[in-house]
Structures are given as structure tokens and as C-alpha cells.
Amino acid sequence: MPSQPSKTLETFPNPAPERDFHIHMEIPEFTCLCPKTGQPDFATLLLDYIPEKLCVELKSLKLYMWSFRDQGCFHEAVTNRILDDLVKATRPRYMRLTAKFYVRGGIFTNVVAEHRKKGWQPAPRVDLTTFASQSNTRG
């Protein structure tokens, strides 16, 4: 039986809950409908998150994204709804969803929505390129 769109987001246990690690996903085929004209809107979604106890399962994420194909949605509303649904399913330490909608009427629209678990702070970033360039200058 072929897959069908679904609003169900499945999860699996974080394999390393003791560590902050970054998951990055690119979803280049997101579509929904303009609520004013009914014409299709196309976007690339960028999902970045640091899981707590759960990670989102990819097939369910694909079917969830597919479920918006025939829905009329304003860009701002659909981006925030997707983020809310993903946060509800996974309860991450941090999550950012960037929706890069393709041009419509000469205007590109990018919507960025974020969630941060109360009290969570990221560890300071380590820039390894600085260390590499310094070690190459030493004799």
C-alpha cells in the first residue's frame, strides 16, 4: 500500500542524551497552497535542533510535510505551526525552523521561528579553523 500524508510525527530515543549535538535537516520539496489564490507555494525548510530525549523519525517527518500540500497556509502561520508540532513531539533543548519560500510576485519570503527550552544555554562554540591555522604558522 502506498504511503499517505499524515499529521503524526513519530520519534525515537536520543542516542546520546548526555551531550548537546546538532541535527540539521533540509527539506527542499515543501509545498502548501496560498490561502488567497489557491496557487501552490514552494519552500525549502531548514530544521536545526538539539534533542533532549527524543529525535524525530524521518519517514514520519516526510509524511507530515506532505500533509500540507493541499492546505491553504500563510507562510508565517505554517512555519510556526510546524515548529510547534515538532516541539510538541520531541521536546528539544533547542529548535529552529527556517522556511525559505520561493519567489511569488517578485518577493522571496523567509520565516525563521525558534524554540529554546527554559534555562537551556548552548555551550560556547569552538572554532577549530582558528586552531588549525595557528598550528600551520608554527615552525
Of the candidate CATH numbers 3.30.1130.10, 3.40.50.300, 3.30.565.10, 3.40.50.1820, the domain formed by 11-137 belongs to: 3.30.1130.10
Active site residue 41: yes
Give the predicted TM-score (pTM) of the model: 0.88
Q: Is 80 exposed, middle or buried (0-12, 13-18, 19+ CB in 10 A)?
A: middle
Q: What is the pLDDT of residue 21?
A: 95
Task: Encode 82-118: b = buried (16+ Cβ within 10 Å), e = exposed.
Answer: bbeebbebbebbbbbbbbbbeeeeeeebebebebeee
Of 34, 48, 73, 85, catalytic? 34
Catalytic residue among 20, 32, 41, 84: 41
Please report which helix (H) or strand (E) contains residue 55, including its range. strand 54-56
- DSSP H/E element including 82: helix 75-90
**Annotation marks residue 34 as catalytic:** yes
Cβ proximity of 45 and 56 under 8 Å: no
Asked if residue 76 lies in contact with residue 41, where contact means CB atoms within 8 angstroms, the answer is no
pLDDT 10s digit of each residue in the chain, 139 long?
678 999 999 999 999 999 999 999 999 999 999 999 999 999 999 999 999 999 999 999 999 999 999 999 999 999 999 999 999 999 999 999 999 999 988 999 999 999 999 999 988 888 888 666 666 655 5
**Residue 13, all three cell numbers:** 530515543
